[in-house]
Amino acid sequence: MLNEKQEKFSQAYVLHRNATEAAKAAGYAEASAYNQGYRLLQSQEVIDRVHELEQQLETDVNVIEEIENQYEFAKANGHTNSAIKALELLSRIRGANSDTGLSMDKDTLETAIVGCLNVLGEEKVVQLLSKCDFADNIFEEYGSEEEDETKKEG
């Protein structure tokens, strides 16, 4: 039988899916929360309780739809971190099975990539592109196109 802190940890773990955060919520000291969370997740009794609580969860909210709405709102309003967090949550919920058997054509892939790049913003995209093996070629071509445009305007 679980003690009060173990029960609180189990409930918080179902919500947070993070052992450290769940340990803090259960009342363990912040300094030891990481270790306590790890230790508690080694207990079969705690694991069983977490599974039991997950089975009891019922909701009228379509979680995936709600997170997709949050992602769209964040993306539209320039909240990059919130949009990325929503994408992370969607990937966790959908799990590894979401791409099973999915064939994506070139246009769909390009649209998805462009959407992600728009969420990240120009500065982050340039940072990421600079890490690519072919970055020098891209920046040389981009730089010369800008120079050509400037010459045309002048």
pLDDT, averaged per 10 consecutive residues of the chain (154 residues), comes to 93 90 93 94 94 76 80 86 83 60 70 81 85 77 56 55
Q: How far apart are CA 63 and CA 80, in angstroms?
A: 20
We find that the CATH architecture of domain 4-56 is Orthogonal Bundle (1.10)
- Please report the pLDDT score of residue 63 as a whole number: 75
- Please report the pLDDT score of residue 151 as a whole number: 52
Structure token pair of residue 84: 């990325």
Structure token pair of residue 87: 């994408």
Let me know: does 46 contact 26? Beta carbons within 8 Å.
Answer: no
CA–CA distances in Å: residue 72 to residues 55, 83, 113: 30, 7, 15
- Please report the pLDDT score of residue 96 as a whole number: 44
**SS3 label, residue 98:** helix
- Please report the pLDDT score of residue 100 as a whole number: 47
- Please report the pLDDT score of residue 142 as a whole number: 64
